[in-house]
Amino acid sequence: MEVPRLDHALNSPTSPCEEVIKNLSLEAIQLCDRDGNKSQDSGIAEMEELPVPRNIKISNITCDSFKISWEMDSKSKDRITHYFIDLNKKENKNSNKFKHKDVPTKLVAKAVPLPMTVRGHWFLSPRTEYTVAVQTASKQVDGDYVVSEWSEIIEFCTADYSKVHLTQLLEKAEVIAGRMLKFSVFYRNQHKEYFDYIREHHGNAMQPSVKDNSGSHGSPISGKLEGIFFSCSTEFNTGKPPQDSPYGRYRFEIAAEKLFNPNTNLYFGDFYCMYTAYHYVILVIAPVGSPGDEFCKQRLPQLNSQDNKFLTCREEDGMLVYHHAQDVILEVIYTDPVDLSLGTVAEITGHQLMSLSTANAKKDPSCKTCNISVGR
């Protein structure tokens, strides 16, 4: 059974406050910690008669919700009026020791039939490990609470964005995509050593690699999808690729029809910015029926290759014509190997602008243009 969203969380375990939220069957109160310690004037008493939750089970996990259930003795079960849920982000051993520590989230819900849904993007983030423990409680006529001991602590990890969430990102990206500009080549910049290595160790074929963690934290392609990054942006005044790049002074160029054609599918992957005015859209091109295509089909919104706001391939007068969005920076992932013999490698004449690199770049969680109402 789903209960209303847990709209309030107690941010200070020593604050002697209680706030009742009308019509939501939820309250935010001061709780004792998992060891049963309580601050003075907490208004919470401990009584062994209340059953302790055991065998806690977490199910139906999404990027910003989960269902929780448990077993408990029938003794004094009818006295239970509330459940206390202690939810914390799992400590990361590699986290910055100077960073402010996340405040534990204490949730309180009126007792309802289990399993119970916990939902809230303000305290649940996608692809994040959490610990959870539960108490049962009985509210007394004077407003005090009698509570059980804490249950055992269990761990779980929230999920990636679903297609529904990605479609929300897609719709926000469409708003700012701008007009379409014509282009004819995809290109990939790297250092000279990269291309030398490809020729010597991979038989001249660039190999897909796992995408880094740049972009939205909940993106289902980060750390999972294998592909090769390409760009297709052009300069407004020349209609050609820019001569500057953050990724290296050597550029592989390949005719657009070699990668994007009626035998490929196009998917929307992400929309983000890095505390800057310009925004990035990640698209995925996958040959029909390939492993990359099957991966994307299950997780990403598919775009109409001939009619979308970002990247199009249309036949005109017997030829394929290509356009890209002007007002967003497109990052295109191709999911199959690409042989260097299909294009050309040459040194660019511009600069290597490292400040524009998106390698492992973190998304700005405060940007209203590219964030949706779930964990960032």
Alpha helices in 153-259 (DSSP H): 163-176, 192-201, 256-259
66 within some domain? yes
**Mapped to the 3 state alphabet, what secondary structure does 347-371 carry?**
ECCCCECHHHCCCCCECCCCCCCCC
How far, in Å, CA of 13 to CA of 29, rounded? 9
N-terminal to C-terminal alpha carbon distance within the chain: 27
> Domain for residue 13, yes or no?
no
Average pLDDT score over residue span 80-90: 91
The Cβ-side half-sphere exposure at 329, using a 13 Å CA radius, reads: 17
| Residue 84 pLDDT greater than 50, yes or no | yes
> How would residue 13 be classed by pLDDT, with cut points 50, 70 and 90?
very low
| Tokens coding 374 | 């779930």
> What pLDDT band is residue 96 in, cutting at 50, 70 and 90?
very low
DSSP state of 198: H
How deeply is 97 buried, as exposed, middle or buried, from its count of CB atoms within 10 A (0-12, 13-18, 19+)?
Answer: exposed
Give the pLDDT confidence of 333-358 residue by residue, as tens digits. 999 999 999 999 999 886 655 555 55
DSSP 8-state secondary structure symbol assigned to residue 102: P
CATH number at residue 152: 2.60.40.10
Say whether both 210 and 335 belong to one domain.
yes
| Residue 60 belongs to a domain | yes
Give whole-number Cα distances, 343 to 56, 216, 346, 362, 366, in Å: 57, 32, 10, 32, 40
**In the structure, what pLDDT confidence band is assigned to residue 363 with cuts at 50, 70 and 90?**
confident
What is the residue whose two structure tokens read 């492993």?
Answer: 291
Verify that 194 and 229 share a domain, yes or no.
yes
Q: Is residue 252 part of a domain?
A: yes
Specify whether the CB–CB gap between 342 and 254 falls below 8 A.
Answer: yes
212 and 329 together in one domain:
yes
**C-alpha R_g of the chain:** 26
Domain limits for position 242 = 163-347
| Percent of all residues in the chain with a pLDDT value above 70, rounded to a whole number | 79
Distance, in Å, from the CA atom of 235 to the CA atom of 340, rounded to the nearest integer, reads 24
CB proximity list for 44: less than 8 A, separation 6 or greater: 30, 31, 32, 38, 137, 144, 145, 146, 147
Cα–Cα distance between 31 and 86 in angstroms, integer? 9
264 in the same domain as 343: yes
Looking at the structure, do residues 247 and 110 belong to the same domain, yes or no?
no
CA distance 355 to 267: 27
Cβ atoms of 134 and 68 closer than 8 Å:
yes
Of 19-23, 137-141, 155-159, 187-191, the poorest mean pLDDT is in 19-23
Residue 366: other Cβ atoms inside 10 A: 8
Residue 44 domain-assigned (yes or no)? no
- Give the Cα separation of 98 and 77 in Å (integer): 44
- The sheet with strand 185-190 has its strands ordered as 185-190, 250-255, 344-347
Q: What is the mean pLDDT of the chain?
A: 82
Give me the pLDDT at residue 22, please.
27
In this model, does residue 192 exceed pLDDT 70? yes
Whether pLDDT at 104 is above 50:
yes
Element housing 299 (H / E): helix 291-299
Kindly state whether residues 101 and 243 are assigned to the same domain: no
Q: Reduce the DSSP state of residue 81 to 3 states and report it.
A: coil
Residues 95 and 188 in one domain: no
Whether residues 237 and 151 fall in one domain = no
Any bridge partners for residue 315, and if so which?
Answer: 320
Indicate the residue among 108, 138, 158 that finishes a domain.
Answer: 158
Cβ–Cβ under 8 Å, residues 296 and 340:
no
User: Domain for residue 29, yes or no?
Assistant: no
- What's the CA gap between 272 and 328, in Å, rounded? 10
- Whether 187 and 310 share a structural domain: yes
Question: In this structure, is residue 19 part of a structural domain?
Answer: no
Q: Confirm if 228 and 259 have CB atoms less than 8 A apart.
A: no
291 SS3 class: helix
CA distance 162 to 154: 24
Q: Which of 40-54, 241-255, 318-332 has the lowest mean pLDDT?
A: 40-54
359 occurs within a structural domain: no
Question: Above 60 in pLDDT, residue 55?
Answer: yes
What average pLDDT does range 82-92 have in this prediction? Answer: 86
Using DSSP, state whether 232 is helix, strand or coil: coil
CA distance 207 to 321: 27
- Claim to verify: residue 134 and residue 224 sit in the same structural domain: no
The contacts of residue 77 (CB under 8 Å, 6+ apart) are 51
Q: What is the predicted pLDDT for the residue at 7?
A: 35
pLDDT (tens digit, 9 = 90+) per residue, 277-307?
889 999 999 999 999 999 999 999 999 999 9
